[in-house]
Structure 1
């Protein structure tokens, strides 16, 4: 910063103009850049002349390496010539034939909003013999001798750098708080997501309302909304992958119109893997307004933020297309299906030669990883587990394998007797009836007690208000006591409602053996079913096979819920219909074929879950 300015041979001091304005959607560069230039002209002495102009249209909070890459200046007719951006300025300053020896800016915040960035630029210029001055700071150009006094200039600059960074951080924090309040009030940010349409409402600020500025809420789209609901249904009941759902949607684009991006020119005209994923991971369909799901600035721009950083409205603010429970189930499918394709049959890779019937359903009970399929030279198919050493639990062998045909025998036995056999209810209920009956009665008694306590709470709240209305001598102390009591009653009501909701969740998830009645009684032989039929059946039943290499046993488990049992029944019926007339002896032993077009006579129950399992070698 110190040192005399170098004069050209004609006695003039050559100066470069450095400027920056914020992002183009927040500022008007056609006004800001000329204004900054005029301010610099007024601050320079008569013997100083600006010979080069460097400016950018970008945020001043970017790291220096990321600066100067914006091409936003091309969108405007700025009446100031441009020789480049900040990196062009630094590059020319390092050349021996540079055109300037002083750089001037309107104020130091135009160089960088973060103190360490503006300090870095200042230091690099100083090392090259180039002074950085600001029009709003005291400075002196010309021959001032070896002991130039710059202490006041340094103090002024450092204070302004601190104030600049403080100001930006404070504005960001206030802006964050504003967006949180905006979200809690149910207003949408940006384009309405697929499945909704924007419902503009007058802006609450009169000045903005006078300009026609509006805020928007979300209303269900009559065509897109049901399409969203279908996607969540397929995801949770059939556990289809994103691409499988996209393929199904593309079969009827009139019924399932594809989404239009913010930039319509980028529309592809059909459903893709990513467009389905964006819908199935968007929590706004639960009726809650959610903000800050993606980063919008910095190196992680447009990346998904951790769920802990999402801002949710406390209460639903618009019509829900799905329940919160359905949304959670869809995310659980994502976790289970990670790196596993939905489509049956051979892998599309050219080198694929065989189908692994139980891929993605078999896991290790010790490391919880899915087993991978392979085959030896004789064609025997195995499933193996070979975790890396860093992820291998104590006692886990470097690798183990289990034969597929042995697993299929156990799965066949499990499905034939426990799931589709005529005595499945008896097998499942053995030893559990008394326990489940006691638990059901306990939950019912607890619900009745909480509902009774809620009625009493509401009655006490009403009586408290009546006491206040008829009181003859209302003192400040009396009002304070009433308010304190109201707070206590409200806290008690909130606690009781939370307890009631928790028990209702337990009721919905309680074991319900009646769900087995919605499956056909039939024989299903996996040896006779193609992968195109058995895989949808496994998905509908939520089949899980947990293999224990120590005991060489596998646990087979399926899960039925009120939401998925009809899909499971249809998949089972299709599997039975696909069996050839020439059936194996094993399937004939347990086969009771249902009538064609089997459908349960009753609708599925609203709640309840069932997870029968079978252990076997």
Structure 2
């Protein structure tokens, strides 16, 4: 069987690195003893009980849905999940996709039918996690009462020194002051955001070192700063809390339960300016030029920045959404007329309609397919033998690793090289397999023919027609569209 191994260690400390190495060695021996094939290790270095940041666990679940392996093995059920909801989600995904689960705490071994203790173990681990969570919350609450900042990331413009908020020794405190000044002078959230982007200031997410932080400021970031009471010098904590150990969802705590320490750190904004900003936010109406929902909305995208295209009445067409929101600093217009798209799509569909209704063209296509089929069958047989040989080599290296004949680095290098070769051969075989199924192609042609019949005589493009034929349209900076259709018979249209 092809197996996936999941390992989670709680930190990057040296003792946890040793634990990781020991667990890997244990699983190498298990796989070699059972004569299984290692698909992949999925390793997360995370503490806590929630699954939000456990990227490799999520990837393993998705790979299980794709049927990329036959069994998941892990040291304990608590390594996979420490709450009942996630435990059962993993179990259901495995069962629905024919994947076994084995944990070495005896919680589950579906290869032997041992699943009856699963619920009890899941409940015990969740209760243990809940108690741990409550102890952590109590400790943080006690620190907050002493005036210590307990957040994971300090507010933009501050740093944490000896558990206290101190203004940073750079431009950020002035940016915060400027944001309040611009807002109080009448500018809106998005106008302030565009000004900051044009001035080249890194965003709060970038300064905090967050993954996937954007290059441009957004109105929501400006609004968040304007609403943060910490800028007045008061430490205001315990404003929200997690609902339970099983979810990332947070809920607001009523104001009477907030922990407020007056004048806990240097202020960047006066109380008067802060309160004025809060009142303005309640009274001002947001007036933003939003993209109008039009014919190609949700189909049309900028090929450079990936933003959705926004319809503009004065252009009778679409422009890049990134340009519309942030200006030239983000992208260029990528303008395209709606009529250009309509004419192009009607032309493509009419061309395909002509092909599938012309008997001489279909007869020629069938003759070409017959000649290709004989050649493809020979190639598929040859490739299948090559794949089997590569997989046998991969299994032999597991034995050598378990016997300490080769190092883990050697195994990873050889295994990765073999896996690349296997995937390359499997891709070639898959492509050839598709070419053997004439009925699939002609079934698609018949399906396209029936759908086109619903829209004859093809004089206009409607949202219904688009949903039947088009996946996505990208527009380059010259305004040229590249259309991805839902049917392979359209593949040469671009």
Do these two structures clear the TM 0.5 threshold for a shared fold by scoring above it? no
Between the two structures, name the one with larger relative contact order (CA 8 Å, sep ≥ 6): 2
Q: Greater CA radius of gyration, 1 or 2?
A: 1
TM-score (norm 2): 0.44
TM norm structure 1: 0.36
